[in-house]
């Protein structure tokens, strides 16, 4: 029987739908896989009549080791509008390249009074401020997060907002940081920008054949078409997850990702990582530059396996797929390797084959 189509990303971290369904109805892993794959087919079928190919949303939905991510920081005390999101939207929306793909997340920098020192420190350490700013409380700041940026796109957003008084700073979110991890717990997916189309979620009692602009932002004024699908599908299948370690209490996100491609999902921390000598020789031959950048040229197979094992739970699983010809459940994960004080980390893509029968992850490629 077919194991289903590939899934760009599955969000059970910021969306509790799968947890609730499993726990409420006691769904087995076999039936859960069928349900997840059914949602994958449903979202593809809902998007196709709207002129959107699910496969072409990949760059907006998965992290790219060669692309940058940015957090744009706005001081709402400098916005003369209680709906501060609207004037901010009107400033950043025209900056997009009309042919590019991105997920856009948004939200306030939330936190109780007892957490303000931590929140202030994380913002201070990560952000570059473009004008003098007085930090009174974290909630005065509103953040727009955009993924899949080239270096040119990154600087275009900064330069394009410099004359806007409410724009007070930006942070490069390409690499892990306290600020990035905090934002991953606060920001919500606002929309996907797919070339000249904006994709959102709409109420689940509205048919997928219809389209609603639930954000009420005037996308059409900037030449965009608004398309939407039911929020269950949008929240589970079309939501970008900011990379972060697997926090306690959120382990089910990884479990459901494995369950999407296997009937026997096991906790990642119980799995060994296996790197065959032949595979390491292949990497030295075909991905020499990656090993050099990571400082792993002289590493043996055990060392490479140990490094991947240590870091495989520091992000999330994406590009979930099942190779029927080779009976293999496969996924990708970004492995970020620190290089020392003042030096940017190295980000490598690890493709892994999940083998429940021997409780192992087998390295497919690493570059």
What one-character-per-residue DSSP string does 177-227 give? -HHHHHHHTT-EEEEEEETTEEEEEE-TTS-TTS---TT---GGGGTPEEE
What DSSP letter does each residue of 290-301 carry, written as one string? HHHHHT-TT--H
Residue 3's pLDDT is what? 65
Residue 299 phi/psi, 5° resolution? Answer: -75, 145
Q: Provide the 3-class DSSP secondary structure of residue 118.
A: helix
Alpha carbon distance, N-terminus to C-terminus of the chain: 33
Q: Mean pLDDT over all residues of the chain?
A: 96
- Cα dihedral across residues 32, 33, 35, 39: positive or negative: positive
Give the residues of the chain that fall short of pLDDT 50.
1-2
List of residues 6+ apart from 54 with CB closer than 8 A:
8, 43, 44, 47, 48
Which tens digit of pLDDT belongs to each residue from 127-175?
Answer: 999 999 999 999 999 999 999 999 999 999 999 999 999 999 999 999 9
Q: Where are the domains of the chain?
A: 64-195, 266-366
Distance, in Å, from the CA atom of 93 to the CA atom of 220, rounded to the nearest integer, reads 11
CATH no. for 266-366 = 3.30.2310
CB atoms within 10 A of CB 272: 12
CB atoms within 10 A of CB 45: 13
pTM over 0.75: yes
Residue 14's pLDDT is what? 87
Residue 1's pLDDT is what? 38
Residue 4's pLDDT is what? 83
Which tens digit of pLDDT belongs to each residue from 42-77?
Answer: 999 999 999 999 999 999 999 999 999 999 999 999
Give the residue among 298, 295, 302, 296 at the shortest CA–CA distance from 276: 302
Residue 244's pLDDT is what? 96
Query: For 8, which DSSP code?
Result: S
């Amino acid at each position: 029987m077919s194991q289903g189509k590939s899934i760009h990303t599955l969000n059970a971290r910021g969306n509790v739908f799968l947890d609730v369904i499993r726990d409420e109805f006691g769904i087995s892993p076999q039936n859960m896989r069928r349900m997840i794959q059914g949602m994958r087919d449903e979202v593809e079928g809902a998007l196709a009549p709207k002129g959107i190919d699910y496969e072409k949303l990949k760059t907006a939905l998965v992290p790219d080791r060669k692309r940058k991510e940015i957090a744009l920081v706005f001081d709402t005390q400098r916005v003369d509008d209680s709906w501060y999101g609207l004037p901010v939207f009107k400033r950043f929306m025209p900056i997009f390249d009309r042919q590019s793909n991105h997920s856009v997340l948004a939200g306030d920098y939330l936190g109780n009074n007892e957490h303000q020192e931590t929140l202030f420190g994380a913002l201070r350490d990560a952000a570059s401020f473009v004008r003098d700013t007085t930090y009174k409380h974290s909630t005065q700041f509103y953040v727009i997060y955009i993924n899949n940026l080239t270096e040119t796109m990154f600087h275009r957003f900064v330069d394009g907002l410099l004359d806007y008084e409410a724009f007070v700073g930006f942070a490069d979110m390409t690499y892990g940081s306290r600020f990035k991890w905090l934002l991953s717990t606060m920001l919500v997916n606002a929309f996907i920008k797919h070339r000249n189309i904006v994709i959102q979620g709409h109420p689940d009692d509205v048919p997928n054949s219809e389209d609603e602009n639930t954000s009420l932002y005037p996308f059409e004024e900037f030449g965009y078409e608004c398309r939407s699908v039911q929020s269950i599908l949008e929240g589970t299948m079309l939501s970008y997850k900011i990379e972060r370690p697997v926090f306690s209490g959120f382990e089910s996100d990884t479990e459901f990702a494995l369950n999407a491609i296997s009937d026997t999902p096991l906790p990642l921390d119980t799995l060994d990582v296996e790197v065959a000598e032949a595979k390491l020789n292949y990497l030295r031959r075909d991905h020499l530059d990656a090993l050099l950048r990571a400082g792993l040229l002289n590493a043996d197979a055990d060392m490479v396996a140990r490094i991947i094992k240590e870091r495989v739970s520091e992000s999330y699983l994406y590009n979930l797929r099942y190779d029927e010809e080779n009976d293999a459940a496969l996924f990708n994960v970004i492995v970020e390797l620190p290089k020392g004080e003042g030096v940017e980390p190295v980000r490598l893509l690890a493709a892994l084959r999940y083998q429940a029968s021997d409780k192992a992850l087998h390295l497919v490629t690493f570059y």
